[in-house]
Structure formats: C-alpha cells, structure tokens
Structure 1
Amino acid sequence: MNGVTVLGAGVAALLLTAVSTRPLGRLALRWGITDHPGGYKTHERPIPYLGGVAIMLGTIVPFAAVVGLDDVRVTAIVLAAAAVAFLGLVDDFSPLSLLIRLAVEVVAATGVVVGGVQASLTESWADGPLTVLWIVVITNSFNLLDNMDGALGAISAAGAACLAGTAFVCAQPAAGVLLVTLALASLGFLPHNWAPAKVFMGDSGSLFIGFVFACSSTLLVTGKGTGAVIAGLLLSTFVATVDTGVVLLSRQLAGRPLLQGGNDHMSHRLRRIGLGTRATAAVLALMAALTGVLGLATALNWISPLTVAVAAVGAVLILIGLPQRVRVYSSDRARSRPATILERRR
C-alpha cells in the first residue's frame, strides 16, 4: 500500500464528510432529530444531529474501498464501530436506557477482542474482560467529551492523525488507513461544527469516534509489554481520560450524581478562565496532538515505554487535580436534571 493510495483515501474521506454533512443536517431538521435549547446548554435554537453519520460514512467508505476485508482484526473494529454508531443513531432518535447502551457496547467490544485485539496487562484470562471494559469506558468518555462546538471534531482530527502515524510505524497499515480516514473525516466535519455550530455529530458520531480510538489504540499495543501497553493506551486517549477523571472527581467531591450532565468538563473550565469556544477547542486539539506525537515517538523507540508510562500516569493525575480549582458549581448545588450517562450538549 503506497502513500498515494493512503492520501487518496484521506482526501475522499474529507470530501465525502464535508459534502454530506449539510444535507444530513437538513434531513435531521425535517425529521426532528435535533438538540433543543434549555438547561445547561448555551445554544438558542435547535441544532440538527446526523453529523456523526457523515463522519462514519467518510471514514468507512474510503477505508473499505482501499483496504477491503483482508485484515481480520481491523475489519472486526470497523464492523463493531458501525454497530456502535447505529446504536448512537437510534439513541439520537429516541434516548435509550443505560442498560441497553452498555449491553450493545459490551457485545461490540467483545467481538473485537474475540477477533484478536487484546491488551496484555496481566498475561492471564483477565486480559480479555479488562480490554472489553477499557473499550466501553473510553467509548463513553469520548461520548461525554462532545460537549462544546468543534471540540471533539478537532480532538479526533489531531489525535487520529498521530495515531495513524503510530499504526504505520507498528506495521499495521490497515489500521493506519482507518485512522487516516477518521482524521480527515473529522476535519471535513469541522467547518459545520466549528463555533457557532450548524450541525452536531450526535451520539452516532461521538460513540463511533470513541470506539475506533479505543480499539485502534488497543490493537497497536497487542502483544507488547506492560509499559508499552499503559503508555499506548493513555497517550492515544489522553484528553478523554483526563476529562472523564476531572468530571467524576469534581462531582464526587461536590456530592453530585456522577452521571449528571452539566458544565463541569475540561472545556467548560477553560471557558471559565477566559478562553473562547474556538480557542478551547484548539487547546484540547493541541493537547491531543502533543500526546499523540509522544506516543509516536515511543513507537519509534526514541523514548522508553516505561518512562513514558510513568510520566503519562503522573500527567493524568495532575491534570485531573488542577482543574478542581476552577469553580463550576453553584453554592446551592442545585440539580439541573435527572442523572444520565448521555450528556447531550453544552
């Protein structure tokens, strides 16, 4: 597989997503698949979903045209990711229960693990269930990360591009092409989602992106030692991991329901200290790019995996703790709405 072919797949992904997003948004408006203002959300008019469908098509169609079904493990990732995206699409139509969502995600993740994608943390039977748990947690972490205009699209474009480089270095060309098409599809979606957003990706997009990131990062550390596994998994999903940690810790400390939606994510805290919406998305994307480059350097053996693993764990803990200084809750700790794992928007 030569560079021209990979570049062609990426360009096709960008164009397909960029061209299809607006028509899908109009279709969402016609069908009433929109995110309505209210509560902790900041937009003042209904914003259509289905941008995630454009991202999924832009990722999968060029990938399938170039790679086909030759790589069993990557094919398992693509098929399972499509199933998870469909789950998100159904949820965008009509919210599903947490049990149904988790059940589908567990089945999809199990299919990927059975297909040969597994992180070796304990070198025992427990690695399978632990990998499934990791995939499900990270998938939902990316889902929760979609909470501000342009944020997840920018993070996905930057992070997937770096992870694609790591895939090619690790002699995983099929995964590399998948990540290239995801990066360029996310980039093609950004003009429609950059603040002020005209279209949202919805759960179909955020779950799809999260699942591909979780499974691809796991694939790239399959068969490697513990240090390489920890470094690879944390660096490729760094922003989502930190964001989820920040939210869960702050809600625990404040005595609030852990799964309640609200403006207490990393993006909202950056806004609180003076950054605009676009600047916030750019900062988070830069963080994803920096950790992605560090992961690539580790794959190239420029840095010891164990050293990077220790540094990554330390950085995660520090970055979960520091944002707690930014005040995001009112003194009366009022509950804005019932607890749910689906933090729809803003």
Structure 2
Amino acid sequence: MLYGIAAAATALLLTALLAAALRIPALRLRLVERRREVPLSGGVAVVAVTGAVAGVEEWGGAAGSGIGGLLVAGGFVALLGLVDDVWRLRRRVLAGGTAVAAACVVPYGETGVLPGLLAVVWAVGVTLAFRGLDHADGLAGTAGVVGAFGAAACAAVDVMDGVAGLMSVLAAALTGFLLHNWHPARAGLGSCGSMSAGFVIALALVHVRAGFGLAESAGVLFALTALASADAVLVLLTRRLGGRPAARGAPDHLAHRLRRLGLTVPGITLLLGLAALSGALVGVLAHAERVGSDALWWVGGGALLVVLSLSRVPVYAARRSVSPQVGAPLRVRNG
C-alpha cells in the first residue's frame, strides 16, 4: 500500500513538472492545439510518466504484475495519437490501429471469443470518445481521473494489484496534468494523451470484468465511462439526424451545448465531472455487489435523459451568429 501511495505521488509530481518543462519544446516543434496554439505537452508527459512509473513495478521487480502487454499496447496507441497530433490521421486509421492494439491484449481465455471481439469494439469506441472529450479545458483529464480511479477501485475489489496500481498511477498523472490544463489551459492533452488514457482505462476494465456476465458487465463498463459514452452518443445521434458526416468536427459536444446555455467553462467541467463521478460510483458498487444491477439502469436512464435534453440545444444553424465569448476554450476539432 505504501508503495502504491509513493508511486501515485511520484507520478503526480513528475507529470506536473514534465508538462511544464515540455511546453517550450512543444511550441518550437509546433506540437500545439491548432486553434489556440496551446502546447500539447501534457499528453506526452502523462504517457511518459505513467509508462515509466508503472514499468518500474512491472519489469523492475522480482515478479511481474501482469500489465506488461497493456503498457505496450497503450504505448502504441499513444504513439498513434502523437502522429495524429502532428499530421491529423483519418478516423478509420485511428480506429483500425486502436482495434489491433486492443485485440492483442483482450483476455480471450476468460471472456470467450465473441465477448472478446465485442470488448475490442467497445475499447475502440471508448478510446475515440475520450479523444472527443478533449475540446474543453480540464474535461478529458477530469473524465480520465474519474475513470481511472473507478477502474482502480474495481481492480482492488478483485485483488488485481497490477491493474489497480496502473490505474492509480494513471489517475495521479492525469491529476498532475490538470494543474496545467484547468481554465485557462497552459498545456493540452491532445490525441496522444486522451486516446492512450481512454484505451488503458477501457482495457483495464475489460480485464477486471472478464469472466462476469455479459449483460451486467456492459452496464458496469458503461457506468464507469458514462461521460465519454454519453458525449459520443450525443454527437453521433445529432450529426446523423442533422445529415452531417460523423467525422466532421462541429461544436456539438456536451460541453459546447452547455456553454450555449450560459455555463462557464470551469462550471461545465465541474458539472460533467460530478456526473461522471456519480456514474463511476454506481459502477464500482455494482461490481463489488454492494448494489443491485437495477442501479445501472438509473445511470443509463440518466445519461439518455441528458443526451435527449441537450440534443435540442441548437448548435449547427446558429454557430456563426451565436459564438462563445472571446478566449473561450471550447473548440472544434476532428472529433
């Protein structure tokens, strides 16, 4: 336990320092968020520190913790995201690369082939959904912290120390990053950080729920990633109904719509963070069998209510005549 606390504290401190140290190199290399010139040093810092701290336990100890494959696959997804930050890859390239990485680390022996393939599809969806959340200061990082802590708690319930340790380190690293990403952001996460965080959280949850019932596992997995999932459903639904290509960026995410309703950027992040925390808490309790599976329906119902309510907020036709205040960090990207 003391080692875990020390590892998390180290990850938080190192990420905060590294994200600050990499700001100037990121600016010089033009590794920036294109619309606001925010350096994407945070994503590189989170990936590097999480991999280093968790890797020490995995490969530096006398016995491995069983997370080596997850670390390697997460590193591949981070590299894919970094290439996207620099050259803007097509969505299908990101999805295909993520699917290959996920397929290599899904525990088919415990899940079975068909559930394992469904887990690959779900992991790809969560990874891209986390990427889509990276459009408002603090939002993707907050969702990552909540999801990682939830996954760590579930892993701790099943005494999966390796997974619990990795998730704790990731949550701490993202917390260190948020010191630079809270409004107004001085560093960004980018596809490198957001995709790798979403991927590792998704696959960690797959490992934790392997061997459980498929229907209940789907409910638990959704509850623990409710914010990213609801945002993705809202975007895909409204773009489909609006006759817009799903891959075309637009100010139609949860945070964009709440901004149009008059909420401040920090207020949006806090509100959505609390919503994510509520869903994650229900997911952890359901995994630990402290509440019945009926509670998971409340999470799904609440998410559906939010999606349907915010889908009525006009964002497409009014986007030129009604715009956020000058300097507002809600931006449009290929998400």
Provide the TM-score with structure 2 as the length reference.
Answer: 0.90
Supply the distance in 2 between the matched residues of 1:300 and 1:247 (Cα, whole angstroms). Answer: 32
After the TM superposition, which residues 1-346 of structure 1 pair with which residues of structure 2 at under 5 Å, given as runs? 3-37=1-35, 43=36, 46-68=37-59, 70-72=64-66, 74-113=67-106, 116=107, 120=111, 125-305=113-293, 307-330=294-317, 344=333
| Percent of aligned pairs sharing the same letter | 32
For the 8 Å contact 2:55–2:68, the answer to whether it is kept is no
SS at match of 1:126: helix
Once residues 221 and 268 of structure 2 are traced to their aligned partners in structure 1, the CA distance between those partners, rounded to angstroms, is: 24
CA offsets, 1:296-320, max 9 Å, x none? 2112211123x13433333332222
Is 1:50–1:204's contact at 8 Å kept on the other side of the alignment? no
Task: State the Cα distance separating 1:235 from its structure 2 match.
Answer: 1.0
Q: Secondary structure at the match of 1:298?
A: helix
Give the secondary-structure state (helix, strand or coil) at the position aligned to 1:259: coil
Do the aligned residues in 2 keep the contact of 1:146 with 1:345 (CA within 8 Å)? no
Counterpart code for 1:166: C
Q: Distance in 2 between matches of 1:205 and 1:21?
A: 12
Deviation at residue 331 of structure 1 after TM alignment: 5.6
Structure 1: 5+ residue stretches without partners: 38-42, 335-342
Query: By how many angstroms is 1:119 displaced?
Result: 8.0
Residue type matched to 2:333 in 1? Answer: R
Q: Which moved more, 1:307-316 or 1:236-245?
A: 307-316
CA-CA distance at 1:172 after TM superposition: 1.1
Q: Which amino acid aligns with 1:254?
A: G
The letter for the 1-side match of 2:93 is I
Describe the superposition over 1:204-246 as per-residue Cα deviations: whole angstroms up to 9, x where unpaired: 0011111011111111110001343122210111100000011
Letter of the structure 2 residue corresponding to residue 230 of structure 1: A
Which structure 2 residue ranges, 5 or more long, are not aligned? 322-331
Q: 1:266 to 1:98 in 2, by over 3 A?
A: closer
- Please give the per-residue CA displacement for 1:111-155, whole angstroms capped at 9, x wherever unaligned: 112xx26885xxx63222211111111110111111101111112
Structure 2 CA distance, aligned partners of 1:226 and 1:105? 22
Aligned length: 323
Deviations 1:42-82 (A, max 9, x none): x4xx111131110112212111223437233x222111011
Counterpart CA distance in 1 for 2:220 and 2:121 is 16
CA contact (8 A) 1:53 1:204 kept: yes
Which residue identity lines up with residue 30 of structure 2 in the other structure?
G
- Between the aligned partners of 2:49 and 2:14, the Cα distance in structure 1 is 5
